[in-house]
Amino acid sequence: MRTLGSPLLALQVQGGSDSGLGTNVVHILARSSIVAKIILLILAVFSIVSWGIILYKIWVFRRAERQTRSFLEIFRRSSKFSEVQAVCKTLKDSPLVGIFQSGYAEITAQLRHAAPAADPAAAAHPNPPGGRPTLKSLAALDRALLRASSVEMNRLEQHVSFLATTASIAPFIGLFGTVWGIMSAFEGIGQTGSTNLGIVAPGIAEALIATAAGLFAAIPAVYFYNHLTSRTKLFASEMDDFSLEFLNIAERNFT
């Protein structure tokens, strides 16, 4: 019984210590200075906004990946660009849809200008009735695809830069709170004239909470910034490949 009692007693003491730690943190926050509370509030705002962006962008990227797979399957199976255009509204979250619509609009404009009687909906059809339509400029089509790629990249990267800002600035805000807290602790030592641990420790503990809060906001922001940036680069690679594939089809059928 004595052998079993010792571990149980140790667990009870450990549980009491954990509960006391949480209570102490709340107590320290409650009696912290107005400057410390403002700093912690700023860090809380950075953390909340960062997590909102993280969850939103993960949801957006998953939808984009799923719709991109569906769009590529339809695009490569279709014999006419007009067939692909008909499903674009249901797959608008894919960045490839924006590129396709820009290229399709450019092809339509060039064919309409070159031969008003031709049917622009017959794009990607090798032998359309009424003669073979011819593009006026492949370079113009290439520029249209590049512009669309830039627009889609800006849309994918939207709000991600805030994570980089949080990752770089949050530790410094926390450090400022720590420095301010230590200054207050030394000021308390000077006023009381005592270096008793009971007097010094609360001020230092209050100061270190700001550093912990800064790291709590910065670490997830760093990780997910790198993660989202990596996924954005994969989308950029897919957009480049699709643009080249689109140009090949246009050159093969309209020149």
Tens of pLDDT, residues 93-125 = 999 999 999 999 999 888 887 655 444 444 444
Query: What are the two backbone dihedrals, phi and then psi, of residue 166, each rounded to the nearest 5 degrees?
Result: -60, -45
Residue 195 has pLDDT above 90, yes or no: no
Give the span between the Cα atoms of 199 and 183, in whole angstroms.
14
Residue 59 has pLDDT above 60, yes or no: yes
pLDDT at residue 196, rounded to an integer: 65
Length of the chain as a residue count: 255
Percent of the chain with pLDDT over 90: 49
Unique residue bearing structure tokens 């689109």: 246
pLDDT at residue 26, rounded to an integer: 66
Model confidence over 245-255: pLDDT tens digits? Answer: 999 998 888 77
36-65 b/e with 16+ CB inside 10 Å = b? beebbebbeebbebbbebbeebeebbeebe
CB atoms within 10 A of CB 231: 18
Token pair in block for residue 214: 């800064």
Mean pLDDT of the residues in the chain: 81
The full 3-state SS of 167-205, as one line of letters, equals HHHHHHHHHHHHHHHHHHHHHHHHHHCCCCHHHHHHHHH
Token pair in block for residue 102: 């820009």
Q: Which residue has the higher pLDDT, 56 or 185?
A: 56
pLDDT at residue 207, rounded to an integer: 77
pLDDT at residue 98, rounded to an integer: 93
Residue 18 has pLDDT above 70, yes or no: no
pLDDT at residue 242, rounded to an integer: 95
The whole-number average pLDDT for the span 186-208 is 69
Model confidence over 126-184: pLDDT tens digits? Answer: 444 455 677 888 889 999 999 999 999 999 999 999 999 999 999 999 999 888 878 77
Q: Where are the alpha helices (H) located in 88-196, listed in sequence order?
A: 95-114, 138-157, 160-192
Residue 85 has pLDDT above 50, yes or no: yes
pLDDT at residue 134, rounded to an integer: 79
pLDDT at residue 127, rounded to an integer: 43
Per DSSP, 129 falls in state T
pLDDT at residue 159, rounded to an integer: 93
Question: Distances from the Cα of 128 to the Cαs of 80, 86, 112, 242, in angstroms?
Answer: 10, 19, 14, 24
Confirm if 123 and 252 have CB atoms less than 8 A apart: no
pLDDT at residue 110, rounded to an integer: 86
pTM of the predicted model as reported, rounded to 2 decimal places: 0.76
Residue 88 has pLDDT above 60, yes or no: yes
